[in-house]
Amino acid sequence: MDFDRLIEKRSIAQLMEEFPISGDFFRNANIPLTDTHKTLQEVLSTLDDEWFYEFGQNRFEVHNQLVDFLQDMTASENAQAIKSLTVIGGKNKRGEDENARFTLMPGDVVSVVGPTGSGKSRLLADIECLAQGDTPTRRHILVDGQPVTDDVRFALGGKLVAQLSQNMNFVMDLTVQEFLEMHAGSLGAGQGPLPMAGVVNACFEKANSLAGEKFTPGTKVTMLSGGQSRALMIADCAYMSQSPIVLIDEIENAGVDRRKAIDLLARREKIVLISTHDPLLALGATHRIVIKHGGIYRVLTTSPEEKSSMKELERVDAMLADARRKLRSGERIASL
């Protein structure tokens, strides 16, 4: 990742949102966090030489120190990084050739659309298992342009792909805080310089901002509503999971701010595939794969016209959400 440019362009607040760990750098370096809408350079230029003397800093070094810091902190993520994922078509349910081949890069958000039973989940499953012509679809998945050998497939299994599914079950009776600490711990947080509290808090705050109804760190995960648990899983996926590929099978009607969730995942430089019947999610993606009779029928890039039609769809969506809320709480619906 080009941290040099990111630090130049992003405000401190944006940096702290994208890389919660950068907050620790700013605090350790005593950088005042009063004007976080400014870039680091802008904030440094408001500080006089005396300030730099007092805190033993060099005006010209802070930027590079932050670059090094972020590079170190994200190094373990980079270890798992992949450059591309290629899907090579096989056969649809009628035995006809799919004639499809496309390549996805980190940051791509792809929706998968098609009628129920058409094969959306199957496509996600092919990617999850890194199919090599050995699934019912006969598809091949390449990683960085190469077929995946059995050894690699086994070694990568689980690490490459994180899956968010319709039926999420928490088996253990943990609080949200404990759940996140457990995950942060397995990431290596709390050992060495990666502070546990920073990662856990950032993840919790984000989960809560995605959830329709708010919850506290002390809430038991088994008591979360469907929407809350999905919000938690999405934030967990973005902050704790090192998997470069995220598969999401139908998260609609889930009480989650879906657009925010997808934006979050895309900004974490992951390849996101999301099967959906929701027009807003489908158009919010950069590309969409249309599935028909078990085969990849078309791969479309979302057009500027489609993007601009989202405003109107969002208005209608908000109206429906409002009506749903009113009906649920026993209110009457005024005539429109």
Ligand X SMILES: Nc1ncnc2c1ncn2[C@@H]1O[C@H](COP(=O)(O)OP(=O)(O)O)[C@@H](O)[C@H]1O
Residues 292-311 that bind ligand X (CB under 6 A): 294-295
- Part of the chain binding ligand X (CB under 6 A), chosen from 72-80, 89-97, 212-220, 266-274: 89-97
Minimum distance from residue 16 beta carbon to Mg ion (Å): 37
Q: At closest approach, how far in Å is the CB of 285 from ligand X?
A: 16
For Mg ion, the closer of residues 121 and 163 by Cβ is 121
Residue 27 exposed, middle or buried by CB count within 10 Å (0-12, 13-18, 19+): exposed
Please provide the DSSP assignment of 105-152 as one string. -TT-EEEEE--TTSSHHHHHHHHHTT-BS-STT--EEEETTEEPPHHH
Nearer residue to ligand X within complex by CB, 167 or 329? 167
User: Does 116 contact ligand X by CB under 6 A?
Assistant: yes
Which of 119, 198, 244, 255 touches ligand X by CB under 6 A?
Answer: 119
Partner touching 295 among ligand X, Mg ion, none, CB below 5 to 8 Å by kind: ligand X
Burial of 95 (0-12, 13-18, 19+ CB in 10 A): exposed
One of 6, 52, 63, 93 touching ligand X (CB under 6 A): 93
Task: Please give the structure tokens belonging to residue 311.
Answer: 């405003």
Q: Which is nearer to ligand X, 39 or 92 (CB)?
A: 92
CB of 200 to ligand X, least distance (A): 34
- Residues lying near Mg ion in the complex (CB under 5 A) are found at 121
* Binding positions for ligand X, 121-140, rule CB under 6 A: 121-122, 136-137
**Strand order from edge to edge, sheet including 85-88:** 101-104, 85-88, 140-143, 146-147
Does residue 244 interact with ligand X by CB under 6 A? Answer: no
**Closest Cα partner for 62 from 43, 87, 83?**
43
120 binds ligand X (CB under 6 A): yes
Backbone angles phi, psi at 294, to 5 degrees: 80, 5
Binding segment for ligand X among 11-19, 69-77, 120-128, 322-330 (CB under 6 A)? 120-128
d(CA 90, CA 100): 8
- Using the 8-state DSSP alphabet, how is residue 99 labeled? -
- Nearest distance from C-beta of residue 116 to ligand X, angstroms: 4
CB 287 within 8 A of CB 87: no
Among 106, 114, 244, 255, binds ligand X (CB under 6 A): 114
| Calpha distance 20→334 (Å, rounded) | 44
Q: Are 160 and 130 in contact (CB under 8 A)?
A: yes
Q: Which is nearer to ligand X, 137 or 243 (CB)?
A: 137
Q: Are 302 and 287 in contact (CB under 8 A)?
A: yes
> Which one of 22, 39, 92, 243 is in contact with ligand X (CB under 6 A)?
92
Q: Are 40 and 65 in contact (CB under 8 A)?
A: no
- Which of 206, 288 has the CB closer to Mg ion? 288
- Residues of this chain that bind ligand X (CB under 6 A): 91-93, 114, 116-122, 136-137, 294-295
